Amino acid sequence: MTISDSSASVVIIGAGQAGLSVAYCLRTLNLAPGRDFVIFDRGPGPGGAWQHRWESLRLGAAHRVNDLPGMPEVGLSFDTADQSRPAREVVAEYYRRYEEHFGLAVVRPVTVTSVADHDDRLVVSTSSEAYGERTTSTRVLVNATGTWGAPFIPHYPGAETFKGHQVHTANYVSAEQFAGQRVIVVGGGTSAIGFMLELDGIAAGLTWAARRPIDWRHSEHLDLEGAVAAVTLQDQAARAGRALPSIVSGTGVPVTPRIRQGIESGLLVARPMFTAVEPGGVRWSDGTLSAADVIIWASGFRPELRHLAALKLRAKAGGYSVEAGTSVLDPRIFFAGYGPQASTIGANRAGRVTARRIMAKLAEPDAPELPVPRG
């Protein structure tokens, strides 16, 4: 086992909403950033996954971004943010000012390559151009990596034969890159809808496909009853160690004036999924072919947890067994922003709960040393 280069009581992986929420709450409980806990973040700058989103995305066109705990002290709120600016710029700026105000000392850009068990400690291996290969020993690990780094594209027969371009949400830049092309957009969430609205009048042809009928909610605001149901489904799956369902499958899609216009014009009408991909397009269940130059997969993401593989926490059901943000198999591992916390719906409250649980874990005595055999 590699000797640790440094140590901290807590290591947080990820400085998005979930990671920063936990960090702030640990700070209020008198843990010092950079000494008692350290935050590793892979991004080139503040903003979490938002810094990577496409230029045209605005805060008013996405699910509501909740303020981080303590943000009023910084004099910031997403409720009053400039919605004419790209969302990625606003979130990056606000998160930067938040990190600086509270002195959170985020270490970036750093990639966590693996986490291993070593006696009663966890050894976090990291890699970066600035710091090289290093290890950090810790008593507690908070995984707040989110999902942006693990885009999901479902398999459809013949996808590898497609002669056009296949693009995932994570690689979408702007509608202009598809000007004059025939585009198939796949997905039933807000990203797919946003792409359809942006591409209208720019793409030469535009078709929308989704695995299930779109659950339109005729309100511009998130339905709280649906949100609670979605969080409950996420929690049940996390506890059972199953793959996590999508949040939008429980909350539905609020119909804003722009979306209503798209529905009424016939633009936002999703076809049931095609059955196969062919070199020149996609084949539908009725046997017809839609010619295409581009397939945009707005098919979501999966939790980014590959660096935890050595800990063998994956359940037989395919997911990770997590209860109240804590690994069922290893109570030293906390999952922030996972399952019922995997959106702005519950991340901030979960940050407070997780911080208190971490403090309780740190208050436990260190594991006793094993007796030396006598011979």
| pLDDT one-digit tens code per residue, 216-247 | 877 655 444 444 444 444 444 444 555 545 55
**Please, which pLDDT band fits residue 309 given cuts at 50, 70 and 90?**
very high
Pair (40, 125) in one structural domain: yes
CATH code: domain of residue 59: 3.50.50.60
The single residue listed with the structure tokens 């290890």 is 135
- CB 248 within 8 Å of CB 189: yes
Q: How many CB atoms lie within 10 A of CB 152?
A: 13
Q: For residues 91-115, give the mean pLDDT.
A: 96
Pair (138, 18) in one structural domain: yes
Pair (210, 308) in one structural domain: no
- Does any domain span residue 279? yes
Residue 29 has pLDDT above 50, yes or no: yes
- Does any domain span residue 225? no
Pair (41, 166) in one structural domain: no
- CB 194 within 8 Å of CB 169: no
Q: How many CB atoms lie within 10 A of CB 99?
A: 23
Write out the H or E segment, with its range, that includes residue 281: strand 281-283
Residue 372 has pLDDT above 60, yes or no: no
The confidence score (pLDDT) of residue 295 equals 98
Q: β-pairing, 216-217 with 205-210?
A: unpaired
Residue 370 has pLDDT above 50, yes or no: no
Q: Taking all residues of the chain, what is their mean pLDDT, rounded to a whole number?
A: 85
- Does any domain span residue 183? yes
Pair (58, 108) in one structural domain: yes
The confidence score (pLDDT) of residue 58 equals 85
CA angle (202 as vertex; 89, 57 as ends), nearest 5: 15
For the ranges 22-31, 129-138, 216-225, 336-345, the one whose mean pLDDT is highest: 22-31
The confidence score (pLDDT) of residue 235 equals 47
Pair (280, 351) in one structural domain: no
Pair (170, 190) in one structural domain: yes
Q: What is the DSSP string of 96-123?
A: HHHHHHTT---B-S-EEEEEEEETTEEE
Determine the 3-state secondary structure of 154 from DSSP.
coil
The confidence score (pLDDT) of residue 224 equals 40
Give the amino acid at 44: P
How many domains does the chain fold into? 2
Pair (209, 141) in one structural domain: no
- Does any domain span residue 237? no
The confidence score (pLDDT) of residue 210 equals 95
- What residues make up the domain containing 118? 6-149+301-363
Structure tokens at 29: 């409980």
- Does any domain span residue 371? no
- Does any domain span residue 108? yes
The confidence score (pLDDT) of residue 146 equals 84
- CB 13 within 8 Å of CB 144: yes
Pair (166, 211) in one structural domain: yes
Q: What is the Cα–Cα distance from 186 to 204, expressed in whole angstroms?
A: 17
Q: What is the Cα–Cα distance from 290 to 53, expressed in whole angstroms?
A: 29
Q: Bridge partners of 10?
A: 37, 140
Pair (182, 94) in one structural domain: no
Q: Compute the residue count for the chain.
A: 375
Q: For residues 168-189, give the mean pLDDT.
A: 95
Residue 141 has pLDDT above 80, yes or no: yes
Pair (335, 283) in one structural domain: no
Domain boundary among 274, 297, 320: 297
Q: For residues 329-358, give the mean pLDDT.
A: 77
